[in-house]
Structure 1
Amino acid sequence: MSEQQIDWDLALIQKYNYSGPRYTSYPTALEFSEDFEDAAFLQAVARYPERPLSLYVHIPFCHKLCYFCGCNKIVTRQQHKADQYLDALEQEIRHRAPLFADRHVSQLHWGGGTPTYLNKTQISRLMTLLRENFHFNTDAEISIEVDPREIELDVLDHLRAEGFNRLSMGVQDFNKEVQRLVNREQDEEFIFALLNHARDIGFTSTNIDLIYGLPKQTPESFAFTLKRVTELNPDRLSVFNYAHLPTLFAAQRKN
């Protein structure tokens, strides 16, 4: 679609042209409160019984710390901690799923952290648990966030076999110096191989995440990153600003 074909609603743009929390979730993080008790949750569950469900599963574990990250995460190489976490998830799912017995799931997303921190057995365990407790539409969108440093092609094959059909890859920046400074060095050739393999085995939608405002980024270096992204040719591109909050995230003090 060319720019001339887009009907820009300037009044709508101006209405929301102010600073606020990043729109990565709804409600936004600032709206969450400990005052939201179980009675309010049950009331919300009953409000739109005819609507399909969108499920989000947070996998907080990472093997390495990215210095820019402000996500809820646990950096550890103790793989058994993921089993303990899945035990807790199983309890929550079995407790809450009956409330949604008459509704169907149209979307499932795994985020993190690093969802591909889980090994194949753990991935299958969680997917089996979800399918046993929720009714999925046959055309449900099943998506996962992938760290190209934390996945091999055979794991991608396993994800596809488990029903995943959408892939989001955190690239952030292709500049080697920027990657080094934020502790996220990655193999550029493998990123291309990973995305191409995802298409070959039937992933129907691919996304690339980028962050602007990282240490040592310049307009020229970011233009190079964008050029490489166009060569990757993902279906979608998500671009986030770097939020520098060193008082909250100690790792950001390294830069």
Structure 2
Amino acid sequence: MTAVPTLRERLLEDPFQGYTYAYPHKTAYRHFDKPHPLRELWAGEDKQSLFLYLHLPFCEMRCGFCNLFTTVNPQEGRVGRYLDAVERQAEAVGEALGAHRHARAAIGGGTPTFLTTAEMARVFSILRRHAGLEKGIPLSCELSPATAETEKLAQLREEGVTRASIGVQSFIESETRTLGRPQKPAVLHAALDRLAKAGFPVMNIDLIYGMDGQTVASWLCSLAAALEYGPQELFLYPLYVRPLTGLGRKGRDPSDIRLQLFRAGRDFLLKRGYRQISLRLFRHESCPNEGDGGASYCCQEDGMVGLGAGARSYTSKVHYCTEYAVGRVGIQAILDDFVARPADHHSFAWYGYELTAAEQKRRYILKSLLRADGLDEADYAAWCGQTWSEDFPELGDLLDSGLVVRGHGKLRLTLAGMERADTIGPWLYSAEVEARMAEYELA
């Protein structure tokens, strides 16, 4: 059996070892021995502060770095059939949940605005009639420059979208070309101009660093161009090249100056009024925090309801979704299965991960520690009945390494710790989750 690398050994490796946006990772999911009735899964849960997520897996093109569950340019009628299936699912899930309330919601993909305005109108109708989506809660929607049309932006504002997130990646055409993403600067700037004028309370711009030919100077040029549109948030993503993606098939590797690029971008934004929320997220000091203006939602404790193929749902003890794929054939097979499912199939969880008490604690630690707010020691002890030092004495290694500081009742990543978040996250994975991820065969 291969020895698990120590923290010291991991710190000698590339800082970018894995993005811990959820735990356990979906590649640790498997088919359950017996399907779980959703009514039973949710029976003992607090359902008054849930996160609602709808996945729309359609795009006008597939970028070379993309490993999301999405398909491009679907055949005529396929979007409609997919929405038929989402409606069946939403109705079944709503009946299983019973009385519940969403604190916030998001529509992602794919590119939701790839859909026509008529199709998007149906999306919102489904969410309001069957999923209990209320106007007035924080609601995010993703879009691309090519689909940020004036009519669609007006529709999103009318439907109550409060946060519009646009994938830009770079303002330099030669750089986006290396990502397998043809993107004309004129189209990009026109889209951002329309988006800024649309008046969303929060506009987010996604950028990527670590691509071929990118320098610190060109990276700062893209950041400066983004700030011209006054975004309240920016996500700075380090480039990862994963299996079955366009870049992966070409054998491309990310730049070896990603840490240098990250530091330059971080310092640039901190000097211009942005706060660092996580390794990737920067929010302007004038922008309210996520919980302000809406019902409180705690990602460590509150549940999530996912609709659509590829969308995950979280109860305290079970995480579940459809199967996952990256390759075109695998994605298409899962979508065909999802569209063909009868209504009663959606009343069960078939595929996912059953969290032991130890894994629930580990998730709490990961979801807290990797953000600027850090791990609240009293909250953790109240939630699980023990201290973090009893459950995870290895966190002491982070303190000894200067990656975490302890004070005012919290454990927080230092500046050095935050830039190694993609090292610390995987280091904290359990042996079982790591083994499942390693044996997963990606389709």
The verdict on a shared fold, with TM-score over 0.5 as the criterion, is yes
Partner Cα separation in structure 1 for residue 38 and residue 27 of structure 2? 18
1:137, distance to aligned residue in structure 2 (A): 4.2
1:243 to 240, 244, 252: 240
Structure 1 vs Structure 2 CA RMSD: 2.7
Number of aligned residues: 240
Matched, 1:85 2:82: yes
Partner Cα separation in structure 1 for residue 97 and residue 196 of structure 2? 33
**Structural mapping, 1:28-107, within 5 Å:** 28-35=25-32, 38-39=35-36, 42-107=39-104
**Structural mapping, 1:36-185, within 5 Å:** 38-39=35-36, 42-185=39-182
SS in 2 for 1:135: coil
Amino acid at match of 1:62: C
Higher Rg of the two aligned structures = 2
1:212 to 183, 186, 209: 209
1:227, distance to aligned residue in structure 2 (A): 1.3
SS in 2 for 1:56: strand
1:87, distance to aligned residue in structure 2 (A): 1.4
Q: Deviations over 1:25-81 (max 9, x none)?
A: 454334433238542755542333243121111111112121111111112253421
TM (norm. structure 2) is 0.49
Greater relative CO (CA pairs within 8 A, separation 6+)? 2
Gap regions ≥5 residues in structure 2: 1-7, 253-443
Partner Cα separation in structure 2 for residue 122 and residue 91 of structure 1? 16
Partner Cα separation in structure 2 for residue 48 and residue 214 of structure 1? 43
Amino acid at match of 2:109: G
Partner Cα separation in structure 2 for residue 36 and residue 188 of structure 1? 51
- In structure 2, the partner of 1:252 is 248
Partner Cα separation in structure 2 for residue 20 and residue 39 of structure 1? 33
Moved more, 118-127 or 29-38: 29-38
Q: Percent identity?
A: 29
Q: Deviations over 1:194-215 (max 9, x none)?
A: 4454454441111111111122
Gap regions ≥5 residues in structure 1: 1-13
TM (norm. structure 1) is 0.82
Question: Is the Cα contact below 8 Å between 2:56 and 2:109 reproduced in 1?
Answer: yes
Moved more, 154-163 or 125-134: 154-163
Question: Is the Cα contact below 8 Å between 1:53 and 1:104 reproduced in 2?
Answer: yes
